[in-house]
Amino acid sequence: MDNRRIGLFDSGLGGLTVMKELMQALPEESIVYFGDTGRVPYGSKSSETIIRYTKSDIAFLQTFDLKMIIAACGTASAIALPHLKGDCRVPLLGVTEATAKVAAKLTRNGRIGVIGTAGTVRSDAFAKLIAKENAEVSCRSVACPMFVPLVENGYADHKATRLIAEEYLEPLMQQGIDTLILGCTHYPILSHVIQGIVGDGVQLVNPGTCVAQEVKSLLTDNQLLSSGEAASYHFYLSDDPSEFARLGSLFLERSISADVSRVDIETYTEATL
C-alpha cells in the first residue's frame, strides 16, 4: 500500500477530464492537480517551448510527495515526455500510449481518425504508436486549434462550436473512419457535439478513460494502491483561479468546493527534475 498522492498536470483545465476518470476508477487515491492556465494553450507553441513548460510543470509537482505524475495533456505527452521520462524521480505517464493501444484494438475497419492540437498533430505521435500496435491500420490526423479556447471559455454547447466541429471533422468522415481518438484532454467536453456529427457508427476514444485504466493496473500490479484513507484533492493554477470553480465543475461533472491556489510557475522553469 502507498498513500502518497498522484500528481496530474495539463496546459489548462482539460486534464480535469482525466482526473474525473481517475476519481471514478480509483476513488481512494488523493490527487494534486496543476493547470497551467497562464500559458494555455500548449498546442500552438514550438516543441522547445512545450518541453520547457512541461519540465516546469513536473518540477512544481515534484515539490509534493507523489507516487507518480501523469501528463494529462496530449501535446505534452506527445512532444515533451519522450525527452523527460528518464529525468523524473517518480513514474511519469502520458495519455498517448494508452489511448493508441485502445484505439488500435477497437477499430473494425482499420481506419482511425485523430483530432488534437496543432502540436500533437505535427508530432504524428498517435499514428506512430498505432503503427507499433498494428501496422495494417491507417491513421489520419486533423488539428482542431479552436476547440481548446472554446471549451475553456464555456462555449461547449454553442452553435458556433458545432459549425467549427463540422468543418474540422469532414476530412475524417470522408476517410470512412470507425474510430476517433480525442487527442486532447479538453475534447471529451465536446463528446456530445462530436458524436452527433460523426454518428453512432464511430467509436470515440477518451484519453482519460484509457489512462485511468492503465494507472489502476499499474498501481494494483505494484501494490501501490492507497490503503483506504479518505481521498483529498488539491488544485493549483498558474493564473487567476476565480473562474475555476465554475469551469472546473463542468470538466469534473461535480461541484468543486476545494481551495484553489495560484502558483508562479515561472519560478520552476529552470528547475532540475
Is the separation of the CB atoms in 134 and 103 below 8 Å? Answer: no
Active site residue 139: no
SS (H, E, C) the chain: CCCCEEEEEECCCCCHHHHHHHHHHCCCCCEEEEECCCCCCCCCCCHHHHHHHHHHHHHHHCCCCEEEEEECCHHHHHHHHHHHHHHCCCCEECCHHHHHHHHHHHCCCCEEEEEECHHHHHHCHHHHHHHHHCCCCEEEEEECCCHHHHHHCCCCCCHHHHHHHHHHHHHHHHCCCCEEEECCCCHHHHHHHHHHHHCCCCEEECHHHHHHHHHHHHHHHCCCCCCCCCCCEEEEECCCCCCHHHHHHHHHCCCCCCCEEECCHHHHCCCCC
Q: Which of 73, 88, 139, 210 is catalytic?
A: 73
Q: Which of 139, 144, 184, 210 is catalytic?
A: 184
Active site residue 73: yes
Would you name the residues annotated as active-site residues? 73, 184
